[in-house]
Structure 1
Amino acid sequence: MSRSSVVDVEALVFDVFGTVVDWHGGVVRDGRALGEEKGLDVDWAAFAEAWREEYQPSLARVRRGEIPWRNLDALHRESLDRLLDRYGLDELSEAERTHLNRVWHRLDPWPDAIPGLNRLRSDYVVAPLSNGHLRLLTNMAKRAGIPWDAILSAELSGHYKPDEEAYRTAVELLDLQPEEVVMVAAHERDLDASRELGLRTAYVHRPLEWGPDRASEAEMPEPSAYDVVATDLVDLAKRLGAEPLI
């Protein structure tokens, strides 16, 4: 997708976990701090992966109507409670469990994320379109200085991605047509679902999403797979012709 072909694009909406912020590194960072404080011997990289692997099954239960809507803090806490015994963390206090569960509010952006977003927002509206809820996304942005123009969440539709309602609601709230919005994600499932509804798509490669030990597993799609295939958010800004910041 060249600059000439995106003249009608007004906004970019972003998957957040893995695309804009490093969830694996954040969970490992906070886990290690907790382990040092309490003398715990835990493989925090494995713990982070196990916790994240609970994510899609939890969302699916809500999407299928097996459990009522609940926000990501509640779903993450249910998953965390299932993992505590497995990793020898069952003696954590309620305050410690609550603090650990809110690590998802404290994730750090990838090094290119803020420079890339700042450059993109010189030409486009930029906003998250995340399964994270508004409080989580707001806390994350304030802590990390993520320069969103607005905060959009699946919570606003009452449907988790990739349900079509999540994308439709975001487009409607932006007062745009689907073809005027680009979905940006490191996950092809997210992009494929949004493309079915007429959104344009931009893939961003994140080989370190699941940690350095699994970087070699990450494969970049062919350039023709989506409207844009970029190495990071700065590269995306360049490909979309966003002007460099002075």
Structure 2
Amino acid sequence: MGFQPYHSPSTGCEVGAVLFDTFGTVVDWRTGIARQAATFAAAHGQALDAETFADDWRALYQPAMEAIRSGSREFATLDTLHRENLDHVLRRHGFTPDRLDLRALEELNKSWHRLPPWPDSVEGLAAIRRRYIIGPLSNGNTSLLLNMARNVGLPWDVIIGSDLTRTYKPLPRAYLRTAEVLDLRPGEVMLAAAHNHDLHAAREAGLATAFVARPTEYGPGQAADLEPESDWDLSASSIIELARGLGARASCAA
């Protein structure tokens, strides 16, 4: 018998697209940023706790976007927010940004464009792509996500960055506008993510949901998102396992 597309128990719809949170779910941002920050520090003759540097830079991510989500600031791309946050984290770690070469700072900021995938990501995405539309549903801007994909071979069908939706997750528009661009109903789109809060917001917007465990995203001491915190449609330990789950046969909800 031929392939039968996955039907979401929560939405009652046949899934047509599987979209992925990217930072932490598809790529290992902490390792990637730490490695590139260590290289930057060595080039400037300065010692650096690179993992803490990566954690501190990432910690400024949500507050920067919240200013935009709340309406207190006009939309700015994630590249712009990362660049602003970079100056703050450099100062915290003993650098003086005003004395550093601007091209070197821009190159360091583009570390987010060069993050390594988790070992299962490319193979798992390729398997899912054989049956479903795949792409990122990320707070990253289009050029960032495009460069990331080209650098490590992420086989996306489509890239709809936050600069196109003009909003940031977890606001409903981030999920709904992406489904609209794909000409799909929200229930025909599945978000796969390693973060339960992202999946809660996606479910509230009407999307199908899948949890992919990344228990070392924040390093060996990670305490959150170690397991699914709700009855998501699917739960998997890798994107390869998620691909197998999406191949399961199920009947359409009435």
- TM class by smaller structure: over 0.9
Aligned AA (1:39): G
Q: Report what 2:231 is aligned to.
A: 225
Q: Report what 2:59 is aligned to.
A: 53
Following the alignment from structure 1 to structure 2, what is the Cα–Cα distance between the partners of residues 88 and 17?
26
The worse-fitting range, judged by mean Cα deviation, of 6-15 and 126-135 is 6-15
The worse-fitting range, judged by mean Cα deviation, of 5-14 and 176-185 is 5-14
Deviation of 1:225 (Å):
2.2
Q: Report what 2:7 is aligned to.
A: 5
Q: 5 Å matches for 1:98-137?
A: 98-137=106-145
Deviations 1:11-30 (A, max 9, x none): 00111000100110111110
Following the alignment from structure 2 to structure 1, what is the Cα–Cα distance between the partners of residues 225 and 17?
28
Q: Is the 8 A contact 1:3 1:239 kept in 2?
A: no
> What TM-score do you get using the length of structure 1 for normalisation?
0.92
For residues 89 and 136 of structure 1, do their structure 2 counterparts lie closer, same or farther at Cα, with a shift above 3 Å needed? same
Following the alignment from structure 2 to structure 1, what is the Cα–Cα distance between the partners of residues 49 and 111?
17
Following the alignment from structure 2 to structure 1, what is the Cα–Cα distance between the partners of residues 200 and 5?
22
- 2:147 corresponds to 1:145: no
The worse-fitting range, judged by mean Cα deviation, of 6-15 and 175-184 is 6-15
Following the alignment from structure 2 to structure 1, what is the Cα–Cα distance between the partners of residues 228 and 211?
8
Following the alignment from structure 1 to structure 2, what is the Cα–Cα distance between the partners of residues 49 and 116?
27
Q: Is the 8 A contact 1:11 1:125 kept in 2?
A: yes
Q: Give 1:86's match in structure 2, choosing from 92, 97, 101.
A: 92
Following the alignment from structure 1 to structure 2, what is the Cα–Cα distance between the partners of residues 240 and 60?
33
Following the alignment from structure 2 to structure 1, what is the Cα–Cα distance between the partners of residues 127 and 51?
33
Q: Report what 2:183 is aligned to.
A: 175
Alignment RMSD: 1.7
Following the alignment from structure 2 to structure 1, what is the Cα–Cα distance between the partners of residues 173 and 131?
27
How many pairs align?
A: 239
Aligned AA (2:124): G
- Residue 225 of structure 1 aligns to a residue whose secondary structure is coil
- Residue 210 of structure 2 aligns to a residue whose secondary structure is strand
> What TM-score do you get using the length of structure 2 for normalisation?
0.89
- Residue 12 of structure 1 aligns to a residue whose secondary structure is strand
Q: Report what 2:251 is aligned to.
A: none
For residues 200 and 71 of structure 1, do their structure 2 counterparts lie closer, same or farther at Cα, with a shift above 3 Å needed? same
Aligned AA (1:220): E
Q: Give 2:194's match in structure 1, choosing from 183, 186, 194.
A: 186
Gaps of 5+ in 2: 249-254
Q: Report what 2:82 is aligned to.
A: 76
Following the alignment from structure 2 to structure 1, what is the Cα–Cα distance between the partners of residues 128 and 224?
29
Deviation of 1:86 (Å):
1.3
Identity of aligned residues (%): 44
Q: Report what 2:240 is aligned to.
A: 234
- Residue 62 of structure 1 aligns to a residue whose secondary structure is helix
Following the alignment from structure 2 to structure 1, what is the Cα–Cα distance between the partners of residues 108 and 29?
13
For residues 3 and 230 of structure 1, do their structure 2 counterparts lie closer, same or farther at Cα, with a shift above 3 Å needed? farther
Gaps of 5+ in 1: none
Q: Is the 8 A contact 2:212 2:242 kept in 1?
A: yes
- Residue 149 of structure 2 aligns to a residue whose secondary structure is helix
For residues 218 and 189 of structure 1, do their structure 2 counterparts lie closer, same or farther at Cα, with a shift above 3 Å needed? closer
For residues 217 and 146 of structure 1, do their structure 2 counterparts lie closer, same or farther at Cα, with a shift above 3 Å needed? same
Q: Is the 8 A contact 2:22 2:138 kept in 1?
A: yes
Deviation of 1:4 (Å):
5.8
